Amino acid sequence: MQSNKISLKQFIQYFKIAVTGKDQEFTSGSIRKAVFMLSIPMILEMLMESIFAIVDIMYVSQVSVNAVATIGLTESVITLVYAVAIGLSMADTAVVARRVGETDIKGASQVAVQVIFLRVFVAAIIAIIWFKRGYWKAIQV
């Protein structure tokens, strides 16, 4: 029976490979290793976002209590936006990964281009609504 434990040396090696973005073949081999190596960049991104929020609050706390409250409110909205964006990107990644798994690189490229156009279109609609409602006036100093 195979052991599920990995050594610290293997852990550090997998971590380095995941962070450097070295090309890997995930369609064969250990699924545990693949999930681990694919999750490392996402975990680091969320960690950095939390650190970013803490640093924001640290600097703004020198201004006033109301400024800290504002940061708290905006960070929660940003987290919701990130959740939606990450959810959509996961769907996009699944479709592209399926095409790559089928060795249909041209199909994967077409899906990737369609996803980019779709995201630009949605961003343009949001920007138009934002400008028409005059939200941009609220951030002018």
pTM of the model: 0.56
Q: Do the beta carbons of residue 136 and residue 128 sit within 8 Å?
A: no
The answer, yes or no, to whether residue 53 has pLDDT greater than 80, is yes
> For the chain, what is the mean pLDDT?
83
Sequence-distant (6+) residues with CB within 8 A of 86 are 42
Radius of gyration of the chain (CA): 21
**Residues, the chain:** 141
Please answer whether residues 17 and 37 qualify as being in contact, where contact means their C-beta atoms are separated by less than 8 angstroms: yes
Q: How far apart are the C-alpha atoms of 67 and 60, rounded to whole Å?
A: 6
Please check the confidence at residue 87 and state whether its pLDDT lies above 60: yes
Expressed in angstroms, the distance from the first to the final Cα of the chain is 66
* pLDDT tens for each residue of 10-39: 888 888 888 887 777 777 777 887 888 888
pLDDT for res 45: 83
Phi, psi of 63 (to 5 degrees): -85, -65
pLDDT mean over 92-115: 91
Higher per-residue confidence, 110 vs 13? 110
